[in-house]
Copies of this chain bind each other. A is one copy, B any other.
Amino acid sequence: MHVNPAEILYWSTMLASILSAAAGVLDARGKQFDLFGVMIIAFCAALGGGTLRDVILDRPVFWVKDSSYLVFTWLGAILTFYLARWIKLSSRWFVVPDAIALGLYTVAGTHAALVLGNDWLVASFMGVITGVAGGILRDILLNQEPLVFQGPLYATASWAGSVLFIILFHQKTDPVAATVAAGILIAMVRLLAVRWNLVLPRYREKQH
C-alpha cells in the first residue's frame, strides 16, 4: 500500500480542525451561547488563523476553496456541543492534540508565506498568526482577555518551530521531513512548557 505524504498532511490538518473546534467549544463553557454561537466560536478557533493569513497574504481563503474544512470543523463543534451535556469533558484532554495542531497550523502558515517569496521575518510571523490567531479571535468573541498571551510558551513554541522550518526550507530539506521536524519541535516545546509551567517574562511596571 502506497501512502502519499501530502495526503497524510491534508488529513492531519482536517483532524486538527476537528480537535481545535472541540477545544474551542469547551472554552465557551459557562457562556450562554446557542448552537449557532458555538459553531462560530469553533470556526474562529479552528479556521480563524488560516483565514487571517490568507487575507493578509492575498491568497484565496483555504476553506472557500475546499469546504471540507467547514464540514469537519462543524462536525467537531456539534459533537462536542451535545457530548458536553452528557459527559464531563476536560480541557486537559486537549493539551496534546492542541500542541500537535499548533505545529501543523504553524508549518502550513510558514510554508504558504515562503512559497510566495516572503522573507523569514514575515514568514515566521505568518506561521505564528496561523497557529495562534484562532485562539485570539475565540477569546475576543468570548469577551475575555486572550489566554494565548498568558499561557506557557504557546506563541514562542510556534515561532521557534517556524524558524526551524524556514532554515530547513532554505536548505532544500525534503518538505515532509522539515514538517515533521518543525511540528515535533513545536509540540515538544509547548508540552514541556505546560509540564514545568515555563512562561515568558510578564509585563510589570516597576512600582513607585
Binding site for B on A (CB under 8 A): 25, 28-29, 31-38, 40, 51, 55-58, 60-61, 63-64, 67, 70-71, 81, 84-89, 118-119, 121-122, 125, 136, 140-146, 148-150, 154-156, 159, 199-206, 208
Contact = CB atoms under 8 A, between A and B. Distances in A.
B141 A40 contact: no
Contacts of A38: 149, 203
Shortest 8 CB-CB contacts between residues of A and residues of B: A37-B149, A34-B200, A36-B155, A35-B200, A67-B121, A33-B149, A143-B145, A84-B205
11 contacts: A33-B149, A34-B202, A35-B203, A67-B119, A71-B121, A81-B203, A88-B206, A89-B205, A136-B141, A141-B146, A143-B143
A104 to B, nearest CB: 20
A70 B33 contact: no
A34 B122 contact: no
Contact of A70 (B60, B86, B122): B122
A180 to B, nearest CB: 25
A154 B36 CA distance: 9
A128 B197 CA distance: 41
Contact of A149 (B40, B81, B122, B155): B40
